[in-house]
């Protein structure tokens, strides 16, 4: 049996481990934390557990295909319910807007909120988002290592017009201006760039495809998003994969030019024919897993955004929270100047709140409830980071914005996570949560694929192709598993 060592039990590593174990390979997953999930983690607050990482479940088809390939079904392992309200948005106590799973309801709501012209702009925007998604799903998202040339060749002469229409050379912010005159709507849909840790002023217009992804379904996971990770770990175990938690990988062993295993902190060596690094490629390139393995991928100077989160149990009064609610800053451009140009916490942050005891309509909460409050932050956790004064100022600004919109929070207890803590959990990132940011049309093609420059060493996770986010990380794990199976087959044929 071929030995496979997977470093990291994030969603990409779990997907790859489960698929390879199902193919009969001898898989060992090495995770330094005490449970699976990676960034899809839980936090214990006031005796209750809540999601403290990703909170939105989309692109259900990725997991349906994955679980089917593992001989089971998503519905057999995880209970989900489709949300009718995608998210609630607020700019002030008097400015609120819900987006719905039914685009006709969203269009009507936008018409009431901003006028008939903006409602028509929304309809055109969704059409464009659908075109972008359909143009990119096969040749980009599902492709193991797409290039501009492969994308053009897959489109063929009749698809080149669609490639031009997806506006790869236009920024998301500028493209949104062709659909919306109302700056609030431009800000709302510009926030899609932050889903992969980017700025709407630098990211390409292709990220409009997120609108189509959300219209295709936002799902609520019973038990929280961490349930997806524990389900995948359980399936991998059923197929024979072994998990070692509290196992800190110190070095990827490279011998005779090939990956040969992993050395753990403390000196134990685990031999393996194949190693999958389910971590940030920047950490790998920076030598955090050994000098020999550092040449596997090129260095990437750019980092995506980090975050400051408050995982809390609190009394919430006044504002009618939905499961997902966004409170927008007064000046979006200034917010990103703080984050990217100055490298500081924003003085006027946009705030995301996940109310985990509520459904999408806002029902379900009684008494103190579980909330995750998040603002974007610069990825400076391995440098000076943010001092206590700037963190306190950011907190005051964030909670002040929510209060101006009508939400009053009285915390029972909370756990704060800053870029410094994210760096501690995921070394070599500075706290960046999404790999390299897709700033500019070529950035998405610069993400490393599953294969590296070192034979036998593969990548999976949000920092690898096809990118950040739970479904994309899962897709990267599947691409890694497929690449390994193909390469092992080729190697065996040559040996024979």
pLDDT digit string, tens, across residues 45-71: 999 999 999 999 999 999 999 999 999
Domain C-terminal end among 414, 433, 452: 433
Q: 314 and 380 share a domain?
A: yes
> Does 18 map to a domain?
yes
pLDDT digit string, tens, across residues 219-265: 999 999 999 999 999 999 999 999 999 999 999 999 999 999 999 99
For 275, the 3-state DSSP assignment is strand
| CB contact set of 138 (below 8 Å; sequence gap of 6+) | 154
Binned at pLDDT 50, 70 and 90, residue 387 comes out as: confident
Q: 94 and 108 share a domain?
A: no
pLDDT digit string, tens, across residues 293-328: 999 999 887 899 999 999 999 999 999 999 999 999
> Does 50 map to a domain?
no
> Does 48 map to a domain?
no
Q: 321 and 417 share a domain?
A: yes
Q: Is the pLDDT of residue 427 over 80?
A: yes
> Does 58 map to a domain?
no
The closest of 302, 330, 281, 360 to 90, measured between CA atoms, is 330
Contact 439, 198 (CB under 8 A): yes
Domain C-terminal end among 194, 215, 236: 215
Whether the link from the prior residue into 466 is cis, omega within 30° of 0, is yes
Rounded CA separation 263/250 (Å):
6
Rounded CA separation 329/308 (Å):
16
Domain C-terminal end among 408, 433, 458: 433
pLDDT digit string, tens, across residues 121-141: 999 999 999 999 988 888 888
| Domain, as residue range, for 150 | 104-215
Q: 296 and 394 share a domain?
A: no
Rounded CA separation 87/291 (Å):
45
Q: 403 and 325 share a domain?
A: yes
> Does 353 map to a domain?
yes
Contact 235, 241 (CB under 8 A): no
> Does 253 map to a domain?
yes
CATH of the domain at 394: 3.30.519
| Structural domains of the chain, count | 3
Burial code (b: 16+ CB inside 10 Å, e: under 16) for 96-132 equals: bbbbbbeeeebbebbeebbeeebbebbeebbebbbbb
DSSP for 99-111 reads EESSHHHHHHHHH
The closest of 438, 6, 493 to 249, measured between CA atoms, is 6
> Does 184 map to a domain?
yes
Q: 381 and 272 share a domain?
A: no
CATH of the domain at 233: 3.50.50.60
């Amino acid at each position: 049996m071929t030995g496979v060592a997977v470093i990291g039990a994030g969603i990409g590593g779990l997907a790859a481990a489960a698929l390879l174990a199902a193919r009969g390979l001898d898989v060992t997953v090495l995770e330094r934390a005490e449970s699976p999930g990676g960034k899809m983690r839980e936090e214990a607050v006031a005796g209750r557990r809540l999601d403290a990482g990703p909170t939105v479940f989309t692109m259900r088809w990725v997991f349906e295909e994955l679980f089917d390939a593992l001989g089971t079904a998503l519905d057999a392992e995880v209970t989900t319910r489709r949300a009718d309200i995608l998210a609630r948005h607020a700019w002030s106590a008097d400015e609120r807007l819900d987006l719905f799973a039914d685009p006709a309801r969203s269009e009507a709501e936008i018409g009431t909120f901003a006028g008939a012209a903006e409602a028509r702009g929304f309809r055109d925007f969704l059409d464009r988002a659908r075109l972008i998604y359909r143009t990119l799903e096969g040749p980009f998202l599902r492709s193991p290592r797409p290039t501009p040339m492969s994308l053009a060749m897959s489109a063929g002469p009749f698809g080149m017009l669609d490639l031009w229409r997806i506006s790869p050379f236009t920024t998301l912010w500028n493209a949104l201006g062709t659909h919306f005159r109302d700056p609030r709507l431009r800000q709302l849909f510009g926030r899609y760039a932050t889903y992969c840790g980017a700025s709407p002023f630098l990211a390409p217009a292709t990220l409009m495809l997120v609108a189509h992804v959300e219209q295709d379904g936002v799902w609520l996971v019973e038990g929280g998003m961490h349930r997806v990770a524990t389900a995948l770990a359980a399936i991998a175990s059923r197929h024979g994969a072994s998990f070692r938690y509290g196992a800190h990988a110190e070095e990827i062993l490279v011998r005779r030019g090939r990956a040969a295993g992993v050395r753990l902190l403390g000196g134990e060596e685990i031999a393996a024919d194949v190693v999958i690094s389910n971590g940030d490629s920047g950490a790998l390139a920076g030598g955090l897993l050994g000098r020999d393995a550092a040449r596997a991928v090129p260095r990437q100077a750019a980092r995506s955004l980090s975050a400051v989160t408050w995982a809390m149990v609190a009394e919430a009064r006044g504002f009618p929270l939905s499961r997902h609610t966004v409170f927008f800053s007064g000046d979006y451009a200034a917010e990103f100047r703080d984050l990217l140009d100055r490298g500081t916490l924003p003085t006027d942050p946009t705030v995301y709140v996940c109310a985990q005891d509520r459904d999408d309509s806002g029902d379900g909460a009684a008494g103190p409830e579980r909330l995750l409050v998040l603002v974007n932050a610069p990825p400076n956790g391995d440098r000076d980071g943010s001092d206590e004064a700037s963190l306190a100022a950011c907190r005051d600004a964030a909670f002040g914005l929510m209060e101006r919109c009508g939400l009053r929070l009285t915390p029972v207890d909370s756990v704060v996570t800053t870029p410094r803590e994210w760096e501690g959990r995921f070394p070599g990132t500075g706290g960046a949560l999404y790999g390299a940011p897709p700033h500019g049309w070529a950035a998405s093609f610069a993400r490393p694929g599953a294969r590296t420059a070192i034979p036998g060493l593969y990548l999976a996770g949000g920092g690898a192709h096809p990118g950040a986010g739970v479904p994309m990380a899962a897709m990267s794990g599947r691409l890694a598993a497929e690449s390994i199976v193909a390469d092992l087959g080729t190697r065996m044929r040559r040996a024979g």
